[in-house]
Chain A
Amino acid sequence: AQSVSQHNHHVILSEAASLELGCNYSYGGTVNLFWYVQYPGQHLQLLLKYFSGDPLVKGIKGFEAEFIKSKFSFNLRKPSVQWSDTAEYFCAVKALESGGYNKLIFGAGTRLAVHP
């Protein structure tokens, strides 16, 4: 079965530190990749997505992610975090074959706390 792994469940950083959140998936075919963010008390919203083309994608609020097909990874990065980045981050993968067109598989999430 397809799965998505997020390596860090909790991350604590100081403001201005760099961030990298890991995401690996188990499906070997064509995928669509997403990062969603859930700020405290709010609903999930899209941070960025990869469908095809340039494997380095840029999203909102200075976030970016790199798709490395050979490593089945889609890690999220930000050069300098802010206190307002405190949130829970979810990686999600959609497999485009094997009936996966409408199934988005989420990782367990990473809680990021940024201290001033």
Chain B
Amino acid sequence: EAQVTQNPRYLITVTGKKLTVTCSQNMNHEYMSWYRQDPGLGLRQIYYSMNVEVTDKGDVPEGYKVSRKEKRNFPLILESPSPNQTSLYFCASSLVGSSGANVLTFGAGSRLTVL
């Protein structure tokens, strides 16, 4: 089944404790992206990647890092989490066409709470 898999789905952590949210897709998509969803703000893009070793900042990259060492994986790293990073995070992927990234396939989401 074609899908985007995120782990963990739920995580409670404390301020300053480094964590990684993994994202993997099995559709050979070039484009991958991370979003955070907050009430009243919709989805905001954190980082995206056009292909292996190619990443770029979205609208809210502060406090996050990403890497794209393999095409299928795009982990989101919080080096020193803070309470304002408490949110619902979505990973998404798509093929890249002539007009850039196409229709996104989303993961199930990862709900992160930072105490």
Residue positions of A touching B, CB distance < 8 A: 4, 6, 9, 32, 34, 36, 42-46, 49, 51, 90, 92, 94, 96, 100-104, 106-109
Contact = CB atoms under 8 A, between A and B. Distances in A.
B42 A43 contact: no
B100 A102 contact: yes
A34 B103 contact: yes
Contact of A51 (B31, B33, B35, B99): B99
11 contacts: A6-B42, A36-B104, A43-B108, A43-B109, A46-B103, A94-B100, A96-B99, A103-B58, A104-B101, A106-B43, A108-B40
A106 B58 CA distance: 12
A106 B44 contact: yes
A6 B45 CA distance: 18
B58 A101 contact: no
A108 B43 CA distance: 7
Contacts of A9: 40
A57 B5 CA distance: 30
Main secondary structure of the interface of B (DSSP, over half): strand
Nearest to A101: B100
A71 to B, nearest CB: 21
A107 to B, nearest CB: 5
A43 B44 contact: no
Interface string B81-93: 0000000001010
B99 A104 contact: no
A36 B49 CA distance: 21
Interface string B18-53: 000000000000010101000011111100101000
A96 B100 contact: yes
A42 B92 CA distance: 14
Contact of A102 (B31, B44, B103, B108): B31
B106 interface: yes
